[in-house]
Structures are given as structure tokens and as C-alpha cells.
Amino acid sequence: MIRRLRYRLEYLFARSAMALFDSLPLPFSVRVAEYGADLYFLLGGMRRRTAIDNLLQAGLASTPAEARRIARESFRHFARLVIESFASLRWLTDDSWPSHCTLDLHPDSRRLLEDPRQGLLLISGHLGNWEVAAQVLSFLKPVLGIIRPMDNPHIDALMRWRTNRPGIKVISKREAHPAALMGALKQGHILALLTDQHASRDDTVLPFFGRPAYTHTSPALLHLITRTPIIFGYCERTGPCQYTLHVEEPLVFPPTGNRQADIVRVLSTLTGRLEAAIRRHPEQYLWGHRRWKKLRPMNGHPPTPGEPVAQPAGNAK
């Protein structure tokens, strides 16, 4: 009963906030969101400490003061992301998007994106504005995204309704069955995956900025099974409602016969691409997430980098 009431109140607050920001001029809404981010940075001790520690441990800040500065700007960036992403549903159209987003596409990736029959695995992280990236790419090719459902089912439904648009389909992890994902790739769609969140014990341990972290195995398995090309990309915010969509060259990894070695090769390459992009724009990355959680012992010892912490799906003969 109490939980249902809390969910209802959270939903009403979210609806009211959306209506308020929709009624305000966009620059003013962004400024209010930035002030809110500054307040949360001051009061949200756990997230602030996590972000600062992550920056120091990753080597992207040499002093606590520098880490604090980057972390604070990261909080402000994600406040802007929320406001601009919702607003972009109005001003990012088939005709107007080129005035807001510059395409920085590798020529080979551009050819694949322009081929309606070619499915693609787009791998990215919580860097820049991934919502705008999906919207822009949907003007070139249908996009299928996978999200973690929100704990509040009312807000989850609200977010899906608010972000729904032609060319983009979003499903939850519970709906992401292999047959559905492979079917989308066969139909020439983009399967967009954000792979930088903490994974489960069923995945693989790999270094991320030099520290071992559980890493999602599904992108590598999908690539190795379907032979679908992988493209790494991210959408850099360059100014108010201005972006550059960077897409690197397509990647193809021929199987060697050693499934686990192939998985590690694919994931290590993608992790390296993401690390390089984050180094270029550290203030646009989600540093408040606890990516480096403590590794749980398996068979009496902690997993080592490259070791599967469980048998990967599809690895059985």
C-alpha cells in the first residue's frame, strides 16, 4: 500500500515537472536544471564521492580538486541531457536535425548505415547524449534499444510514452530475447547497446581504466553468432542543442574457434574505444555510477581479467 502510494506521488511529481519544463523557454529550463545539479552535487554525498573516487582511480584527475571539478561538470551535463533530450523530441525532425547535429562518420560505416538491408550493432556508453544519438540515427535506419526498466512502473510507462517516436523501438532487458534481437538485425535495424554499466556474475571480468570490472558479454556473443558488423559511436554535446555524432570504422572479428578468447578480444577492443572517447570528454561521462563493484569470489578465488564468471550463453557445444 505504501509503495503504491509512493509510486503514485513520484509519478505525479514527474508529470508536473515535465509539464513545467515544457512550458518554459529551453535555455531557462537548462539553467534551472544546472542549478538543480549543483544542489544535488552538494547534497548527494554518496554519488559525489563515487564520482570523485572513480575519476581519481581512473587516472583522469590528478588531484581531488580536479576530480571534484570534473565530477561537478558531469552532474551538470546530465541535467542538461535530460532537458535537451525531452525537448529534442520536438525540434529534432527529419528536416531539422542537420542544423543541430553534425555527422562525423567513418566512410565505411556511412555506407553500412545507408544500406537498408544491413543490420548493425552500435556499441556505446553513457557518454555525451545517447538519446539524441538514437534519434538522429533513426532518420538513417530503424533503431532498437534496450533499457533497464525503472522500479516505478508508472514512471517507466511515462518515459516510454514520452520518448516514443517513429524509427525507434525501446524494449526492457526482460523483453530482449535472443530471437528478437537477431530478428531486428536480420531486418537491417541498428541494435544499440550501452555496455558500460556494472554487469552480473554471468558475464566476463575485464579491465576498465585499469581496474577489473564485470563486463557485459552479450555484444560479443551477438557479433560472433550473427557476424553483424559492430560500430562504436557516441554523441558529443558541443553547445546548447548542438551535437556531433562520432561513429568509428566498422569492426568484424573472425572466430578463431576459441569462444572465450574471441569474447575477450571483442570486448577488450570495445572497452578500449570507449576509454579513449571518455578521455577526450571526461566531463560528459556518467562518473556517479558504481561500475567497479567488488568482485565476488568464484570457486574460492576472485575472478581474474578475461575469465568468464559463468558459462557464457551459447558457449555449450
Into how many domains does the chain fold?
1
Please give the angle made by the CA atoms of 216, 222 and 141, to the nearest 5 degrees.
Answer: 105
Three-state secondary-structure class, residue 91: helix
Burial grade of 301 (CB within 10 A; 0-12, 13-18, 19 or more): exposed
**Average pLDDT taken over every residue of the chain:** 89
Q: Is residue 62 part of a domain?
A: yes
Report, as an integer, the average pLDDT of 259-263.
94
Q: Where are the beta strands (DSSP E) in the chain?
A: 101-105, 120-124, 143-147, 168-172, 190-194, 204-208, 211-215, 230-239, 242-247
Q: Is residue 311 part of a domain?
A: no
Report, as an integer, the average pLDDT of 13-27.
86
Residues in Cβ contact with 99 at an 8 Å cutoff, skipping those fewer than 6 apart:
none
Cα–Cα distance, 178 to 87 (Å, whole number) = 33
What pLDDT does 313 receive? 34
Q: Is residue 56 part of a domain?
A: yes
Q: Is residue 230 part of a domain?
A: yes
Confidence tier at 306 by pLDDT (50, 70, 90): low
Residue, of 170 and 236, whose pLDDT is higher:
236
Cα–Cα distance, 73 to 14 (Å, whole number) = 24
Percent residues over pLDDT 90 in the chain: 64
Name the nearest CA neighbour of 237 among 56, 43, 33, 78. 78
Q: Is residue 312 part of a domain?
A: no
Confidence tier at 147 by pLDDT (50, 70, 90): confident
What pLDDT does 184 receive? 95
pLDDT tens for each residue of 23-80: 889 999 999 999 999 999 999 889 999 999 999 999 999 999 999 999 999 999 999 9
Cα–Cα distance, 68 to 2 (Å, whole number) = 37
Report, as an integer, the average pLDDT of 146-168.
81
What does DSSP say about strands 101-105 and 242-247: parallel, antiparallel, or unpaired? parallel
Cα–Cα distance, 275 to 219 (Å, whole number) = 17
Confidence tier at 299 by pLDDT (50, 70, 90): very low
Looking up cell 567488488 gives 294
Residue 300 in grid coordinates: 574460492
Residue 232 in grid coordinates: 562504436
Report, as an integer, the average pLDDT of 81-105.
92
- List the single range of 90-99, 186-195, 303-312 with lowest mean pLDDT: 303-312
Name the nearest CA neighbour of 122 among 94, 145, 104, 88. 145
CB 253 within 8 A of CB 265: yes
Q: Is residue 8 part of a domain?
A: yes
Q: Is residue 248 part of a domain?
A: yes
Q: Is residue 290 part of a domain?
A: no
pLDDT tens for each residue of 180-210: 999 999 999 999 999 998 776 667 889 999 9
Residue, of 280 and 161, whose pLDDT is higher:
280
Identify the domain containing residue 75 by its residue range: 2-284
